[in-house]
Structure formats: structure tokens, C-alpha cells
Structure 1
Amino acid sequence: MDEKSQIQALNRSTPMLPMMPAVPERQTHDDTRAGTTTLPAALDAASDTLIAAQHHRHRAIEFRTFLNQIDRETLPPRRTCTSFWTPTAHTAPITNDWLLAHPRFHLHFIRTYSSRMNLVERFFAKITRRIIRPSTYTSVTKLELALQA
């Protein structure tokens, strides 16, 4: 499991200029910001499925909501291990209380710059390359719809 936080809905100040013979596609350096969204995602290795959600904020309460979603969408006898880089919202009292009530969940904090160990990072790289970076979004809602699709 991992989170891609602060995904920005960016809209270029002028439309992108299309490719022409011997000229690459061009875009302006300035943009207008329309807000941000957060995308937590978890990989269920046993069933090879991705569990994802979208939140407008990055706090412990949203993290606990996502843990509830993982709990609903995975089979109870299975032990669930989640890995994180930074223990900010993941070590809040509300999270610790939830983890005590759900003993099959175990948090493991991996070292920074070890994204190759986290398969969800590959998913984030793919959506960044194919959905977020090449497009413009005039609102967070349009960005979230593109991510859902």
C-alpha cells in the first residue's frame, strides 16, 4: 500500500501546440492550479487486484477510512501487511486504535528511496506518465474522473 498525495489539477494558460514535422509538441511553462486530490492504493497480491480510493485531504481519518475499505475488500483470514515510507498520518492515535482492533493488519515502514520494493509505486508511475502529466484539468472533479477511468 502507498499513497500518492497532492496530485494537482493543472490547466495550462494556453492550449498545447500540436506536433508538426520536425517540431515536438509544445506547452507553456505557466499553468493555473485547480486544486489537489490524494490517491491511496493497495495491491492485493493474492487476488492480483488493486484497491484504490480518492480523498481531498491527507489526514489520519482518511487513512483509517481507506484501511476500512481494505478490510472490507480482502478476505478476513488473510494476514494483511501494508508498507509505507513516512509514518505521519499512519501513526496517529486514531490509526493505532484501529490497528489494535484489527490484529490481522501489520504496518511496515520501508526506507525512503526504496520504491522498487513497493509495487504500488509502479502503478503510480504509470498513471502519472499516462494520465496526469500529459493532460490538463480545469477542476479536481475532472482529474478524479480521469483517474477513476
Structure 2
Amino acid sequence: MTEPPKPPEAGDRLVAAANRPSPPERPVSLTQPRPHRPALPRQVTGPVRVWRGVVAFLASAVRLASRLAALILALYAIFTVFKANPANIWYQFVASLASSLSVGLANLFQLADIRWTTLVNYGLAALVWLIVGSVVAGLIRRAAP
């Protein structure tokens, strides 16, 4: 008859570790150089620092502008889906901006319901703005040294 397994105690090794041979210990040698460690990043000063700041600002501005365009397109789609009042000044403002930001996708699909048509077309235009804005911002960031 076999004994039940004992619960682990402090200092016990794992079973998998017990079956594996331990790596041989390396003797410490004062004559051999240490293994290569990556150098700490240097403090950037002067024109390179200014250029990095300009590039970061431009990338952030592109990303912000593309997100703002996508937000306007999404707002117009939401206004249309929920049948907002077309005489409202906010609706008119968002509609005028959305028509110029739709990048030619306003009439891409013609569905039976005008609300679905607006949602699909302007939603697709919003996605295009988000994707293109992210790609352009990434390319701008790569310009930094």
C-alpha cells in the first residue's frame, strides 16, 4: 500500500525542477570582461531634441485631427439614425462639416432606409479617417532620429 503524498513544505523543490539537472556554476573570473549590457540611453540635447519635439507635436496633431474628423462623422450618423431635428443649429453645423469630411464615401452604398445608408457610409468614412490618421502619425514619428 502506498502512502498519501505529503503536502509541500518550505524549501521543497518542484518535481519538474528535481528531474532537470542544474546548470553548472561559472567560476567568477576577474580577467574576463563582463557580458555586454546595452548602454543607457544618452540624454539628447540641442537640435535633435528640438526635432524630436517637433515631430512628436506634428504626429499628435495629425492623430487629433483625424480623430476629430471621425467624431464629427460619427455624430452626423448618430443624429441621422435617431432622427435629430434638421432645423437645429448643431445638426446643421455637424452636417455641413460631415459632408466635406466624408471623403467621397457619402453615397457609396444605397440601402432601403436612409438612416442605415447614412450610418454605413459615414461610419465607413470615420473608419477611413481613423486608419489613415494613425498610419500618417506613425510615419511622421519615424522621421524622428
Same topology, TM > 0.5? no
When Rg is computed on C-alpha atoms for both structures, the one with the higher figure is 2
**What is the TM-score with the length of structure 1 in the denominator?**
0.22
The structure carrying a bigger strand percent of its residues is 1
The structure carrying a bigger helix percent of its residues is 2
